[in-house]
Each structure stands twice: as C-alpha cells, then as structure tokens.
Structure 1
Amino acid sequence: MRFDLKTLCGFPGDATEGAKLRALHVAGWFLIVGPSLYLVLVFLSFPDQAGRTIGPALVLILAAASLLLMSAGKAQCAARVLVYGTFAALVPTIVMHGGLQAPQTIALPLAVLLAGWLLGVRHAAALTMLGIALVLGLAAYPADLPQAPSNALMAAFPIAVVLLLTGLLTAYIVHSNDHRVEEVRRLGEALAAEKSQLAQIAENIPAFIFHGDRELRCRFANGRYAEFFGFTPDNIIGKRVADILGEESARAIQAKLQAVLGGEAVKYSAVRRSAVDGKEHHLDISFVPEHDESGEVVGFYALKLDVTERQIAERALAESEAHLRLVTENVPAMIAYNDRDFVNRYANRRYREFFEVEGDNVIGRPIRDIIGEEAFRSAEPMLRRALEGEQVSYRATRRSRDGEDRIIEVESVPDRGADGTVRGAYALMRDITDQQRAEDEVRKLNAELENRVSERTAELTVANRELESFAYSISHDLRAPLRGIDGFSHLLAEEYGERLDALGHSYLERVRAAAQRMGALIDDILELSRVTRMGMQRMRVDLSQLALEAAEERSRASPGHAVEFSIQPGCFASGDPQLLRVLMQNLIENAWKYSSREPAPQIAFGSETQGGEIAFFVRDNGVGFDMQYADRLFTPFQRLHKPEEFEGTGIGLATVARIVHRHGGRVWAEAAPGQGATMRFTLPAAALDGPQET
C-alpha cells in the first residue's frame, strides 16, 4: 500500500480547513498547558508518586510534537499525532490508575470527538473501536488491575455504550457538518461565480456604473466609469460625488441625489467632459435607490449611457430627413407613398396641390378616396404588381383641380424592408401633358416636313435630270464649234501652212491650244457637276488599294517619268467607292503634276491620328505653295501657278473638296514653297458591313 505524504500530512482544501487548524491549535496548547499544570501539582503535592506523571508527560510531549508539525505545515500529521498519541497515552494512565474505575476513562469519548472533528468519521470510528476494545480488555482481566471491580463486565458495559454512542453521535455531527459545509461551499462557489459574472458584466457593459452610499461616497464603480472621470476602479472607492464630478456639477444634481435617496427613481440627461479625450459627452443617466432588508434606502445606483454618437447620428438623420423633405417638397414631380392596404402615408406638395388635398388630410386616407373610384380601378393592377415586388411604369389620365384631364407618367417602386419583404410602394408621377402635346406637334411637323422633303426631293430629281440634260446639251453644243475650230485650224495649217509666216503659225497654234483647253475645261466642269449630283452608296472602301491603282495608272500613262510611291496599307473608310476613286485619282494626279520637276519625285499616301480622329494624306516633295493662298486652293478655277508652269484647269482639287464634303469630312492643305505639299482629309470610319444608300 502506497502512502501519499501530502494526503497523510496535510488537510484537504475544504471549507473547514481553517476551523480545523484553529481547533488543532487550541487542542495542542490545551494538552500542553493541562498536563504541565498536572505535573507541577503532582511533583509539589505527591513527590513520592512519580508513576502518576507518565501519562501526562507523554501527552505533553505528543502535544508539543503536534505543534511543531503544524508550524512545519503538516497539519494532518499533527492531528494524527495528537489524536492517536493522546489515546495511546491514556491507555497506561487508565491501567495504572484503577482500570475501569479510573477517572481518566472520561477522556476516551473526548478523544473520539476530537478524532471525528480533526480527522473525520473513519478515524472517529477507529478510535471508538479501539476504546471499546480497551474497555473490554480491562473487563476480561480484572485481576491484573490495581483496583478490580466486583463485577468487571457490568463496570465495562456503560463505558463501552458511552463510547459507542459518542462514536455514533460524532459520525452524525461530522456528516451533518460536512453536508452543511458542502452546501456552504456550493453556495459560495455559486455566489463567487455570480459575483464574477456580475463583475464581468459590469466591466464589459457599454455603460458607466456607480454605486454610492447615503453620504454620497463611492462604494463601487466599473472601469468605464472610473476611467471616464480620470480614476481607477481602486482609487475611486471612497471618493465623494463632488470629488468625482466637480463641485459645480455635483450642486447641479443635488436635488436629483436627494430624490433618489428619498426612494425615487430619477432619469435625466447631462453633458460631462471626459478625462480620456477631453471632449464633452452627452450622457443619459438613471438613478435607482438601494434598499436594505427593512426597506430603508441605504444608497443608490447610477447607470450612465454615452449617447454622444447616437445624438450625432440622430442629428445627422434629422438633417438628412429635412434635406430629403425639402427636395421632395420642391421637386417638379408628384411623390406619394402607400402601404400594403393602399392607404396613403406620404404625399409631397405637388401631389397635394394636384389632387386638392391638405397636408393633414392626405395621410391615412385610402388612395381611392384621393384619386377617385374610377381612377383607382384602372391603377389597382399596377399598384398590386408594385406591392408584389415589381417596378412598374405606366401612363394614366387624371383630372386636375381645374377640371382638366392631364396625362400622368407613373413610376411605382416597391419599398422593401430589411428582411426583403415589401412594406409599401413609392409613386413618382410627372404631368407630361404639355410634353405629350409637344411630341404630338413635333410628330405632326415631322410628317409635314417629310412630305415636303419628298416633294422637294422629287422636284430636285426632276431638276437634276433637266440639269443633266442641259449640261449634256451645252456640252454637245459647245463641243461642236470647238471641234470645228480645231478641225479648221488643223486644215488651215496643212493646206495653207506654206503661205503663213512664223507669226501666223504662232497664232494658229494658240487658237488650237485654246480650243483644246476649252474642251478640257468643259470635261472638268461636267465631272464636277457629276460628282455633286450623283447618288452615294456607302460601304467599306480600301483607300490604300485605290491609291495604288491610281499610281499604277498614272505611271503607265507616263512611263518615262519615274516616281517613288509610298502607300500605307490597311487604310479603310466608309464611303462611295466611285467617288472615292475619283478623289484618289485627283490627289495622285495633283501630286504627280507638282512634283514632276523634281529630280527624284516622291509621293506618299497614309493616315495619321489628329485630335482623336483619323486623317488621310497625300504628300509630295514638289514645288509647294505659300500658305497665305491656301483658302483659294479648293475653289473651282483658282490656280496658284501659271498655266505655262503647270497645265490644268483648277477643277481637280475643287472636285476633291466636293467629294469629301459630301461624305461629311474635312479637307485642308499644308505646304511651303519649294518643300512640297500635303493634302489632308477626313472620312467616316469604316464601320458599315453592307451598302447604305445616301
């Protein structure tokens, strides 16, 4: 069997440990003082009876040993030594002083009681059995005792019964005491847990808690309260209310403090400056009186809530509501709100004015009473859809206060709560009667305009046909005399050339050249007229390919004139392919002509991004021109060079400008004398996949 020294020599940590230690200490000293006095008395009165001192001396020694063990922290060892040692010392003392008739037998029940209190029921039972065994042993051998009773068994019986009853009584008392101790321990633990829980709640609740007595001194304050006023939970205890709040604030609430000490609950609001951030905080404060068992007020509790943020939020909410109301009251639309029972809960000024209802009369009234039974029946399906969670738009006719039927555009928006359920619906209404009338008038005017445009287009078509016929007739009529002039001039040169001198030949050549220029001019005028009148079919056009074809065509026409072409691939635009072909031919022809006198002529075509739009260009390194005359460049018959320098009619770039303008683009030139010229133009982006008539 293993012995646990801690269990053997130390009391278990129960609720009676302190009482047991005190009892053990008292018993130890009692067993030292009593035997000591007995020994002194024996030595003084009966010096010849030294045998009487053996038992008390043993008890004295054991009691001293027990106290030494207690001072060493071994309380249970001390209790065992004291209890069992005392019992052991009693045995020889009883035997030597008369056995069953010895007065020391009265100490046996006391030893049992001491064992039960200090060591428990098992040790009390053990000592009871040992005591009964001792008594029965003395009764069994009465002849060996100094004073043997006449009937040893009868003398032993009452002593054994007393020991047994003492053991039973001790067991009952110890068990009852242990039960009470366990109940006290359980209640103590529950009280400690509840106290700890309350302390945690008090320290963690978002409020300031204060407990004061009738003298207005602090008995408790949680950490938030103490910190707010610049204290700690320890050093605030005992402080007066005036010490905590300040004399002025304490005087201001004196009546409230007297009221709570008179048994009334008090609630009020105050502003207090925090010692933490130095700012003023708004507090909601409640005073509750504290009553004792007799009902007398012995103090009070104070609960303070910091509502600064709530007040700021409420103020912001009030301002927001005021702003929202200002907007809704003055917005140029009618706004209303109805609940699920079709009862109006809000209506702005324009709504009230339209339906001629006062502000107080519109709230809480059914919609049918405001807009009328017939109007409500027509709007009810839409309102129900909105209350089912759908945003609904519709138009309705409502009669205004002046009796006129007005067209109203209505937007019904469901109002959902935090849980997603529809609580009601907002109605946003606009009077679009004037707008509808204006739209009807615009449609009427557009229809009339379309008819006029159709008529004008038909007239222009007829006029264009007549103009085309006239141009053909003029061309034919003008070409006939020109052919005659040129033909007869040719015959004159062949038939009568020998008769003409040099001056005559010069005149004749000038006549023929003028006739030919006149013919070219007529052709160019007809081309300019054609590109102005012809219809357009927009499609995706590869300008790079058109530039390449124009360059190859011009190179074949003048094989002896070598020009370096640089054509950027992938330049696309949206436009009429025939007109854009004429455009590229004229630009390439123009660059070819004015770079023809350069030893190494160069012509380039490409595109650049300028100001967020794509600009195409044709650039040459020819003679260039002065930019002060650039505004004349795209005007028909305007030329910046003399005919003897560069031939031409002044129609080519004018044709380019007409084509670009018909496509909705811009055209301009950049040049300097002797440094070449760049013709730039813009066209719509190539975004059309198929043809589009224009």
Structure 2
Amino acid sequence: MTTPSREAHFRALLEAAPDAVVITDGDGNIVLVNVQTERLFGYARRDLIGRPVEILVPERLHDRHVGHRLGFVAAPRVRPMGEGLELSGRRADGSEFPIAISLSPADTDEGTLVIAAIRDVTRAKQAEKEVRDRETRFRALLEAAPDAIVIADTQGRIELVNAQTERLFGYSRDRLIGQPIEILVPERIRRGHVAYRDAFIAAPRVRPMGENRELFGQRADGSEFPVEISLSPVHTEQGTLIIAAVRDVTDRQRARHEIETLNERLLRDNTELAAVNKELESFSYSVSHDLRAPLRAIDGFSQALLEDSADQLDDTGRDYLNRVRRAAQRMGVLIDDLIMLSRVTRADMHLRQVDLSALAQGIAEDLRARDPARMADFAITGGLTAQCDARLIQIVLENLLGNAWKFTAGRTPTRIEFGSCRQDKGEAYFIRDNGAGFDMAHADQLFRAFQRLHDAARFPGTGIGLATVQRIVTKHGGRIWAAGEVDKGATFYFTLE
C-alpha cells in the first residue's frame, strides 16, 4: 500500500502531466484519470471511474481495441507514444479525434495496472497533411515543368528528377536516383563539371538559364546535345539542395546557325546589290547624258532642215523629217520613263502619314489646267490617309489618275473617282473611270514594262507607267490589281501594307 504522502505526491504529478492520463486495471476498467482527461474527452472523472476504457474509443473500433488491450495485458511492455498506429479517441459528445498513446505497465499490490498517456494529435495530423499536400503540389508542379528538373544534394547525388528528365536523357528515374549528377554530363568534361559544382556549393546563388556558358548533356546512349541550365539553391531541414532546370537547346542553336548563315548570305547579297546599284547609277547617267545628246542633235538638225530647206523638200521629204523628230522625241520620253523606273527601284523610303485625298485633288486640278476645255467630273473621297512615302505615292497617283484622264478622252460625260474600300487584309484604294477599259483576258500584261493594250496613235505612251506604279506599291508592302471591260471603263485597286 502507498502511504498517504506518497499517494498525494503521485496524484499531484498525475494532475500536472501535460497529457491525459488514464489508468486501468487488468480487466480494462478505468481506476484513475487526471484533469487533462476530463478536458480532452469532455467527461467528468466520476463518469469514467469504473467504466471500461472502451468508453473513450469510437464504437466502430471497440472490438479491435479489446483485442489490442488483451494482447498488451498478456505481454505488457512500455510502448512509446506514436508507435506507428493510427488511433482515434471519442469525446463525450460522440466526436472523434486522432490521438497518440504511450502505454506503461505498473505492478501494484492490487495487480498490474496499465498507465495510458493520451495526446490529441489533431494539429500534428493537420500539419502532416499540409506537408503531404505541399509535397503533392510540389511533385505535380515538378512533373508539369516543361524543362527537365534534377534535384541533387551538396555532394552532387541525385535525389529527385521529373518525367522530362527521363525523356530528355533516356534514363529511368530509378537509374538516376542516388547517382552522381555527372552521369548526365559528357565524360570529356566531367572533371571540370565537378569543379564547377564544388564552386557553386561554396557560394550558392540563383543562376539564370543560359548564363554565358556552353554546356552539354549526355544521354543514356552516349549521345551529346547542347543544354542551358538554371541553378537554384534550396535550404531544407536536411541540408541544402540544388535544383537544376535543364533545357535542350538543339533546335535553338540550329535556328541560330541558320540565321547566322542567312545573315552572311544577306550581307553578300547586299554587297552585290550595292555593286549592281552603282552600275545602274552609272548606266542611268550614261543613258541620261550620252544618249540624250545624239537624240537632241537628231531632233534639232531635223527641225533646222525643215525650217531652212523646206522649199527644197517635197511633201514626202518633209513627212520623213517629221517622223524622225517624233521618233527622237518619243525616245527621249522613253529614256525619262526608264530612268524614273530605275530610280524608284533604288529609292530610299521615308514613311509618314500622307493625305492621299489632298494629293489626288492637286493632280486633278493640274489635269484640268492642261486641258481646260474638257468637261470632267472628279469624285475624290476626302480624308483618305496612309503611312507611306509622299514622293513615291505622288508618282502612283499621277500615273493612275493620268491614265484615267487619258483613257476617258472623248467620253461625255467623263467621270473619274478616287476612294477606298475594305478588303480581306485591310483597306484598299481605288481609281475608277468610265473610259476605254480593257479586256480582262489580258489583265496580266498591264503591269509589264513596254506592254500596251491600246493603240499608241490614239492613246500615246511608253508602257512604263504601270510598271513603275507596281514597283512603288510593292516597295510599300502592298499589291495592285485591276478590273475592267472594253468601252465600259476600268478600276485600279492598290494597298500600301
């Protein structure tokens, strides 16, 4: 028997215990509890004393618990708290909660007693769940990563990889876990890689991908490929881990090589083009000066002959000389047009917002001024603007409006329109007339140099104008096309982007 003083001391220790303490006899009946038991389970101790301990166990587990209890009484031993069992307690209100229990047998004069220390582990279980959830999310993110992810310890041993690593390097993750990370590095540079790794461990920092270093990986079959790697140190309770994101840059390097090759080719082409342009400039200068001189001489001497010796020529002679003069003059116009076409091809572009309506209005007024007797109606839509080269677009409108003016000669009433319309790829501008028109069967010849679809005697020209217009429109990144019908007019459309 314990003395009163020893019993008082025991009960004081029992009440001061941080865990709920339940003492049962060999039959599983409760003989003593502390205040923490009352708080934890919601029972008054008088309602527990003498009751089977199963009162504190969920009903669905009663039979199992009786078996565990009898087994413990048959072979009692100290069982530490949290010894791998998932246990639950039941409060007075019927609610359940997770618990951990330590068991200790105590031999007394009345027989063997079992001392159970019970701890509510709800928070611990919740913390464990949160850890598991975080780990699950982490693994999900790891597997969803577009790059190969390799996690290693400070000794360079691989601890974790994702599916992309398996695909990229051709190893199963079982073959990689625990291996030195140099297994993924070509043998010829493994020694150097160890030095780099040790230096990084000595001063770990986030290193962005592609940080000015040529890196290579080696697949399970021994083949090498270029990679970019970003490194991030992560400090954990188990020590520092290194997270490496590995990206295959084979396609990028191939594309870079192709771009470099194209740039070199472009440089050569530009050099050749510059030489061609220089030759064209020389040719244009030669045409402009060396050919004009004899043409002016032919025209001038023919005119002088007509004026000074007209009485010595018959009608046929005078007709021949007039034909010579017209041919020389036409050749001069053709030279001017060819030089214009050449200059358009080589001209630099200066883009700005241009008022197309104002340009068209000015050209229309110039055309009227040249032939004030003609009755022509110009319908020019106001407010049409475009981002373009003002000087070049002036040439486009002069040619198109000039053609409309030329091919409506003799039409009463004459109507020429300038406007815009919507196309699949944006805005298109158009110039429409009610003149001679053309046969759509020959539309593909309209923009070829020296191609004419009409009688030169009735509609004079060199056939260079529309070719020049097409060059300018194409130079702006646009396109030009036409629609027409013989004697019912024509419409020319163009875009500038």
TM-score, normalised to structure 2, is 0.60
| C-alpha distance after superposition, 1:598-633 (max 9, x if no partner) | 212222222222112222211112221221111111
Once residues 526 and 376 of structure 1 are traced to their aligned partners in structure 2, the CA distance between those partners, rounded to angstroms, is 68
Which of 401, 416, 427 aligns to 1:614? It is 427
Once residues 405 and 46 of structure 2 are traced to their aligned partners in structure 1, the CA distance between those partners, rounded to angstroms, is 111
Which of 353, 357, 361 aligns to 1:540? It is 353
Corresponding residue of 1:363: 177
Corresponding residue of 2:395: 582
- State whether residues 489 and 512 of structure 1, in contact with CA within 8 Å, keep that contact through their aligned partners in structure 2: no
Once residues 404 and 524 of structure 1 are traced to their aligned partners in structure 2, the CA distance between those partners, rounded to angstroms, is 63
Corresponding residue of 2:295: 478
| C-alpha distance after superposition, 1:353-383 (max 9, x if no partner) | 999999657434675898653020344478x
1:526 aligns with 2:339: yes
Corresponding residue of 1:634: 447
The 3 A distance-change label for structure 1 pair 444 and 625 is closer
| C-alpha distance after superposition, 1:656-682 (max 9, x if no partner) | 122222333211101122332111112
Corresponding residue of 1:446: 263
SS in 1 for 2:205: helix
Once residues 344 and 440 of structure 2 are traced to their aligned partners in structure 1, the CA distance between those partners, rounded to angstroms, is 27
Corresponding residue of 2:149: 335
TM-superposed deviation, 1:564: 1.8
Letter in 1 for 2:284: E
1:681 aligns with 2:494: yes
The 3 A distance-change label for structure 1 pair 414 and 262 is closer
Once residues 262 and 553 of structure 1 are traced to their aligned partners in structure 2, the CA distance between those partners, rounded to angstroms, is 115
SS in 2 for 1:659: helix
Once residues 227 and 199 of structure 2 are traced to their aligned partners in structure 1, the CA distance between those partners, rounded to angstroms, is 13
Q: Percent identity?
A: 35
- 5+ residue gaps, structure 1, are 1-186, 193-197, 203-207, 213-255, 266-313, 685-694
Letter in 2 for 1:462: K
Which of 247, 259, 282 aligns to 1:466? It is 282
TM-superposed deviation, 1:537: 3.2
SS in 2 for 1:606: strand
- 5+ residue gaps, structure 2, are 1-42, 49-53, 73-131, 185-189
- State whether residues 149 and 162 of structure 2, in contact with CA within 8 Å, keep that contact through their aligned partners in structure 1: yes
TM-superposed deviation, 1:542: 2.7
Which of 468, 480, 485 aligns to 1:672? It is 485
Once residues 613 and 671 of structure 1 are traced to their aligned partners in structure 2, the CA distance between those partners, rounded to angstroms, is 22
- State whether residues 299 and 325 of structure 2, in contact with CA within 8 Å, keep that contact through their aligned partners in structure 1: no
Aligned residue runs from structure 1 range 410-449, under 5 A: 410-412=229-231, 426-430=243-247, 432=249, 436=253, 439=256, 443=260, 446-447=263-264
Letter in 2 for 1:464: L
Corresponding residue of 1:130: none
Which of 537, 546, 549 aligns to 2:362? It is 549
Once residues 292 and 386 of structure 2 are traced to their aligned partners in structure 1, the CA distance between those partners, rounded to angstroms, is 34
Once residues 401 and 429 of structure 2 are traced to their aligned partners in structure 1, the CA distance between those partners, rounded to angstroms, is 13
- State whether residues 367 and 376 of structure 1, in contact with CA within 8 Å, keep that contact through their aligned partners in structure 2: no
Letter in 2 for 1:376: R
Corresponding residue of 1:344: 158
The 3 A distance-change label for structure 1 pair 476 and 351 is same
Once residues 584 and 517 of structure 1 are traced to their aligned partners in structure 2, the CA distance between those partners, rounded to angstroms, is 23
Aligned residue runs from structure 1 range 91-130, under 5 A: none
TM-score, normalised to structure 1, is 0.45
Higher strand share: 2
Letter in 2 for 1:623: A
Letter in 1 for 2:461: G
Larger RCO of the pair (alpha carbons < 8 Å, separation 6+): 2
Once residues 545 and 619 of structure 1 are traced to their aligned partners in structure 2, the CA distance between those partners, rounded to angstroms, is 17
Once residues 428 and 355 of structure 1 are traced to their aligned partners in structure 2, the CA distance between those partners, rounded to angstroms, is 13
Once residues 595 and 413 of structure 1 are traced to their aligned partners in structure 2, the CA distance between those partners, rounded to angstroms, is 77
Letter in 2 for 1:377: D
- State whether residues 360 and 418 of structure 2, in contact with CA within 8 Å, keep that contact through their aligned partners in structure 1: yes
- State whether residues 565 and 602 of structure 1, in contact with CA within 8 Å, keep that contact through their aligned partners in structure 2: yes
| C-alpha distance after superposition, 1:214-255 (max 9, x if no partner) | xxxxxxxxxxxxxxxxxxxxxxxxxxxxxxxxxxxxxxxxxx
Which of 177, 196, 221 aligns to 1:375? It is 196
The 3 A distance-change label for structure 1 pair 446 and 650 is closer
Which of 410, 413, 421 aligns to 1:597? It is 410
TM-superposed deviation, 1:427: 1.9
| C-alpha distance after superposition, 1:289-318 (max 9, x if no partner) | xxxxxxxxxxxxxxxxxxxxxxxxx9xx99
Mean CA deviation greater in 437-446 or 663-672: 437-446
Corresponding residue of 2:13: none
| C-alpha distance after superposition, 1:149-192 (max 9, x if no partner) | xxxxxxxxxxxxxxxxxxxxxxxxxxxxxxxxxxxxxx999969
SS in 1 for 2:292: helix
The 3 A distance-change label for structure 1 pair 559 and 611 is same
Higher helix share: 1
SS in 2 for 1:553: helix
Once residues 393 and 353 of structure 1 are traced to their aligned partners in structure 2, the CA distance between those partners, rounded to angstroms, is 21
Corresponding residue of 2:385: 572
Aligned residue runs from structure 1 range 235-246, under 5 A: none
- State whether residues 630 and 669 of structure 1, in contact with CA within 8 Å, keep that contact through their aligned partners in structure 2: yes
SS in 1 for 2:435: coil
- State whether residues 354 and 400 of structure 1, in contact with CA within 8 Å, keep that contact through their aligned partners in structure 2: no
Letter in 2 for 1:480: A
TM-superposed deviation, 1:573: 3.0
Once residues 487 and 461 of structure 2 are traced to their aligned partners in structure 1, the CA distance between those partners, rounded to angstroms, is 20
The 3 A distance-change label for structure 1 pair 416 and 546 is farther
Once residues 636 and 490 of structure 1 are traced to their aligned partners in structure 2, the CA distance between those partners, rounded to angstroms, is 37
Corresponding residue of 1:409: 228
Corresponding residue of 1:651: 464
Once residues 196 and 397 of structure 2 are traced to their aligned partners in structure 1, the CA distance between those partners, rounded to angstroms, is 67
- State whether residues 392 and 413 of structure 1, in contact with CA within 8 Å, keep that contact through their aligned partners in structure 2: no
Letter in 1 for 2:419: G
| C-alpha distance after superposition, 1:538-573 (max 9, x if no partner) | 333332222122111111111111322222233333
SS in 2 for 1:530: helix
SS in 2 for 1:625: coil
Aligned residue runs from structure 1 range 379-390, under 5 A: 379-380=200-201, 384-386=204-206
- State whether residues 485 and 515 of structure 1, in contact with CA within 8 Å, keep that contact through their aligned partners in structure 2: no
- State whether residues 432 and 490 of structure 2, in contact with CA within 8 Å, keep that contact through their aligned partners in structure 1: yes
Structure (1 or 2) with the larger CA radius of gyration: 1
Aligned residue runs from structure 1 range 12-161, under 5 A: none
SS in 2 for 1:551: helix
Corresponding residue of 1:488: 305
Alignment RMSD (CA, Å): 5.2
SS in 1 for 2:353: strand
The 3 A distance-change label for structure 1 pair 264 and 555 is farther
| C-alpha distance after superposition, 1:400-434 (max 9, x if no partner) | 599999753103468899xxxx9955422235479
Letter in 2 for 1:430: R
TM-superposed deviation, 1:463: 0.6
The 3 A distance-change label for structure 1 pair 379 and 399 is farther
Once residues 424 and 357 of structure 1 are traced to their aligned partners in structure 2, the CA distance between those partners, rounded to angstroms, is 21
